[in-house]
Structure 1
């Protein structure tokens, strides 16, 4: 489920339209992929490449990522229920820190939030900000395995940079079709628009939804969630969109033939997604376990048991079936022989198996209800005995190894990043510290230190030190900052960052001493004077504050808004007048709008 929020989309569109105006011929020596070749044939390859570059750049900008979240929350609000947030945080942290995936060097680490929207949706922005709607969390009954499937799906969109590539392809395809229509005049523009939208949905967006379902399955299973979670989520989603949603645009008819909306959707039909994810679950368990009729569990063609409705207010047989089968599939996947299943008798004397965890809970409940533990043990014994001849375990392991090798190739490529790329990683780390996101800054710096082409170890240590301070570990921060200064005492930023750490601690004397050293290294660095001015102002030393703000203004006059008005009035009278005038006009506009709203309310 990819959503580009309207304001971001408009911003991207404005940039892309400007960039795509020049349709330059493509060099014969330049290699293109299959889709790029089609764009080249239509004469819109430059539009495709410039659009792609614009959105990829947006996706590698911490400021854009933070603004993505701020815009989402401004538009939809935050989910006021702390339990919703807690569950989503737990799921995302398990996916992010325990799932198997590799971030591209021009991608940011994931951040997320649960908003207060009543629409059943989640989205991954081009910036790797994942927006989760409250209605989706509640619609999935806060089920961790179902949420993991949906959120890992969104992570895959981010990892594969689907937003950027899909949008760039959509821009180029629409432009190409428009150019062809101008040449042939074969249809009116309303029909062209409808045809273009349909083609974009089916030929560009839809394939990436299938890819995200598959990628999400591998991430969530590698992180330890129930392999049946994806199919269960689709079953639950189908029920919610049919019987519970209050948004008529989301509603789907219980009669599949009446679901004409599905024919034009850019997402696969929910039932088809359920079937595909159920098949992936079966394959994950080496083909042993299947679900039939959404309630019957079979192992190698022999029926184990049927589940029943255990939910409150709706039929949850399908979810129960997928969780029983998913636990069995995970056990087959994780254990090379029956010993790992730990078949044993429970407190009631019935046979059970596997650890008592959330992933196995539904299986263990139905083994007890159906007294099916012994049957399962017999079927599992037969399954392992027949495995060698079938070769399913070996084939699946080979496919897993292939996926792992692809990730290793990307990891190796990341480590070979050029100096420019490493600098951008470091810049993003420092930006996270600016937003008080110390954990994210440290994640970024781990990526920096892993790279083999680091240009400046001292500056990297200094930025890492600041991140430690932002997180609150001042002892480690100062030790790292001292190491940064000794590593490269001629880099002004090593002193700037240590000064900032001293300032955070309240040690203004040490902070000013480091700023003095920074001035000796680079008298043209604006931050030296800005930080000095701010500290002197805090100390009540108005003259020194004014002097440093004056130097700051000389170096960067366009940044005058960083100077407090009491100093700006003397340092830059013209800009002070412009600023006060703009503030007065903004205040007048706000008061006028407030009076209008109050009058409208009173009249009612």
Structure 2
């Protein structure tokens, strides 16, 4: 389950067409053990995927991509943050940044966060998320039929399989005149809308009638049948077969580009993604519809000049591309305050050992036009490289930051941290002492120097710098180990021990 989700999410995040807003965080995801058929995107762009969803979709990459693209769109458009009290988002803050899933109780975390964070979503935004998810997953190379197929399976699962009343979908609800009976539109309505998106993606050529018959320009090509022993999955098979056709019509501007050739069994061979085409070609051969497919594809392209279908398709794609470009321009035009926040979030990712996402955020900073602290940006990016073990880039950025702003204590402090992460203790200590020289009132140089001296076994020097740290910033007492605090401030040490005892007693109760 985890490997499948990682594979799909990595493709969506890497290859999908989308732009994160200035104040958005990079996507983080994890699989939890809940049996509920659900996934959710929280205000921090943390996507939680229940095992129940993965199993319910029978491990289908394309169907899972559609659902996860849907959840990503909630994050990209900030639906969760807009529909949930701001206090909740502030309360959780960066708490989801801990990448060590082994130390996180994801079920408890989900319960704590509350189902409403990601699901207190208005119905128009659900449809918007379906559409956004469709474009993300198709641009990442998944089957365009995955969304409608996922809704077909979801409708069956929620109506006939689940024993959880929170999930159950009454089949009579589909007849209600308004989308007001649940947090989500009826799955059949969403299925129909996603099928319309598939048709539009194919330049209007591919449709699925009666949820089983795949047509090209209204002419039936084949009818999907059940292949699952437990339930009638013919709608899924139809949508995925139609998706393979839609992908080809979308990607190829002329019939010859398909590379269609008849096979002995009455089917065809064709160019394209073999995994996606596997949903179509066996059905074509079973129906012995190869010759008909070749003829229908030829006729479809011949009629495009009169219909203008391909021009409409490209025009719609150009409009979406322009929207993404406007989003990128907004990121580049981020003001100083926004850039400071992005840098801060990047540093937090590095603190949690996630250099990859830290670099994603720093790419936004370096792409912005209004960075008033470029030297600081270099040393913050250097920390991310150091986390990833890229010593050459870490050194280059850290040295650049110090050279550009030698009077900024933070450049020295961060280079000290970079060198320390790379195992260069002597260089780190030299930078920490230089930071103190540059700004004797800043606590960071004292802290790093004290910790390094302690690591080197020089207790006297460590005590001296912890004492200086305490004098400069009394609130830093929490960073001073017991063995040193007892010597520096016996009263503070006794108070700490007293509080620790109270905490232990409270836990025992």
TM-score of the superposed pair, with normalisation by structure 1? 0.76
Give the 3 Å change call, closer, same or farther, for CA 168–540 of structure 1 in structure 2: closer
Choose from 122, 126, 129 the match for 1:209.
126
Verify: 1:443 aligned to 2:360, yes or no: yes
Verify: 1:579 aligned to 2:492, yes or no: no
Choose from 429, 437, 451 the match for 1:512.
429
Choose from 144, 158, 164 the match for 1:241.
158
Work out whether residues 253 and 259 of structure 1, in 8 Å CA contact, stay in contact via their aligned partners in 2.
no
Give the 3 Å change call, closer, same or farther, for CA 260–251 of structure 1 in structure 2: farther
Matched residue, 1:399: 316
CA offset digits 1:336-366 (Å, max 9, x no partner): 1012211124575742223352221111121
Verify: 1:454 aligned to 2:389, yes or no: no
Matched residue, 1:565: 482
Number of residue pairs matched?
A: 480
Matched residue, 1:379: 296
Give the Å deviation of 1:538: 1.1
CA offset digits 1:412-453 (Å, max 9, x no partner): 121121222212211111111111000011111111111111
Verify: 1:434 aligned to 2:351, yes or no: yes
Q: More displaced, 494-503 or 345-354?
A: 345-354
> Relative contact order: is structure 1 or structure 2 higher (C-alpha 8 Å, sep ≥ 6)?
2
Matched residue, 2:111: none
Verify: 1:232 aligned to 2:183, yes or no: no
Work out whether residues 252 and 259 of structure 1, in 8 Å CA contact, stay in contact via their aligned partners in 2.
no
Distance 1:302 1:213 in 2: 28
Give the Å deviation of 1:261: 12
Verify: 1:588 aligned to 2:505, yes or no: yes
Matched residue, 1:43: none
What does 1:88-107 correspond to in 2, within 5 Å? 88-107=5-24
Give the 3 Å change call, closer, same or farther, for CA 428–347 of structure 1 in structure 2: farther
Verify: 1:298 aligned to 2:215, yes or no: yes
Give the Å deviation of 1:529: 1.2
Distance 1:95 1:371 in 2: 35
Matched residue, 1:281: 198
Distance 1:323 1:158 in 2: 26
Give the Å deviation of 1:251: 1.5
Give the 3 Å change call, closer, same or farther, for CA 447–169 of structure 1 in structure 2: closer
Verify: 1:493 aligned to 2:402, yes or no: no
Give the Å deviation of 1:506: 2.3
TM-score of the superposed pair, with normalisation by structure 2? 0.90
Work out whether residues 266 and 291 of structure 2, in 8 Å CA contact, stay in contact via their aligned partners in 1.
no
Distance 1:262 1:576 in 2: 62
Choose from 395, 420, 437 the match for 1:478.
395
Verify: 1:534 aligned to 2:442, yes or no: no
Give the Å deviation of 1:218: 1.1
Distance 2:360 2:119 in 1: 37
Choose from 405, 411, 417 the match for 2:328.
411
Choose from 49, 57, 72 the match for 1:155.
72
Verify: 1:521 aligned to 2:444, yes or no: no
Give the Å deviation of 1:580: 1.2
Work out whether residues 468 and 474 of structure 1, in 8 Å CA contact, stay in contact via their aligned partners in 2.
yes
Choose from 555, 560, 564 the match for 2:472.
555
Give the Å deviation of 1:256: 4.6
Give unmatched runs, 5+ long, in structure 1: 1-83, 172-200, 593-604
Choose from 248, 256, 262 the match for 1:331.
248
